């Protein structure tokens, strides 16, 4: 039994999204490894800010996670849709990738649209679930079973 089974939260997307956000915030190495799995490259001087459930209006919806990857003069917005057992909502990925959604995201974070890049990840438990919009990179939760996923940054310890 694992912690998700013990707490009976395995299929609760919001709870799992919050867990992922904490992993991303605790370790840049974990986050960068995740982005690399989706073929999203970030530079060494990138600063990350992560938000959950960012409302974009009734006609667009609410992406589970928005990662802002900021460099000197560019902002990468990474929209992550997390699917634990449900299928994609009606035109969900198409709405998140629309020009209207991209404009709203840039405006929400006060970033000039022309200085923004948009990337999309569809993370699903079900290997047969796939996003309708081809701009979304599909990742399956099995990626976390392969290789090293460091959850804490290495720090040097000082004992007094």
pLDDT in tens, 92-138: 999 999 999 999 999 999 999 988 999 999 998 888 888 989 999 99
The pTM score is 0.85
Q: Residue 129: exposed, middle, or buried by beta-carbon count in 10 A (0-12, 13-18, 19+)? A: middle
Number of separate domains in the chain: 1
Q: Is the pLDDT of residue 87 over 80?
A: no
Task: Answer yes or no: is 37 within a domain.
Answer: yes
With contact defined as beta carbons under 8 Å apart, do 52 and 63 qualify?
no
Task: Answer yes or no: is 155 within a domain.
Answer: no
CA-CA distances (angstroms) from residue 111 to 25, 62, 74, 117?
22, 19, 9, 11
pLDDT band with cut points at 50, 70 and 90 for residue 34:
very high
Q: What pLDDT does 35 receive?
A: 95
Q: Which domain holds residue 41?
A: 3-145
Task: Answer yes or no: is 154 within a domain.
Answer: no
Q: What pLDDT does 108 receive?
A: 94
Task: Answer yes or no: is 8 within a domain.
Answer: yes
């Amino acid at each position: 039994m694992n912690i998700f089974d013990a707490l009976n939260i395995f299929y609760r997307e919001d709870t799992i999204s919050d867990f992922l956000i904490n992993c991303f915030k605790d370790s840049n190495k974990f986050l960068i490894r995740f982005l690399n799995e989706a073929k999203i490259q970030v530079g060494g001087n990138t600063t990350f800010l992560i938000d959950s459930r960012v409302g974009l209006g009734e006609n667009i919806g609410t992406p589970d996670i928005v990662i802002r990857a900021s460099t000197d003069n560019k902002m990468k917005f990474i929209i992550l849709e997390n699917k634990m057992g449900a299928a994609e909502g009606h035109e969900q990925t198409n709405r998140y990738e629309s020009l209207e959604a991209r404009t709203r995201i840039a405006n929400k974070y006060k970033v000039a649209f022309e200085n923004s890049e948009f990337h999309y990840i569809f993370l699903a438990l079900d290997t047969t679930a796939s996003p309708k919009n081809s701009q979304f990179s599909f990742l399956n939760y099995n990626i976390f079973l392969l290789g090293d996923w460091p959850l804490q940054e290495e720090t040097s310890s000082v004992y007094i």
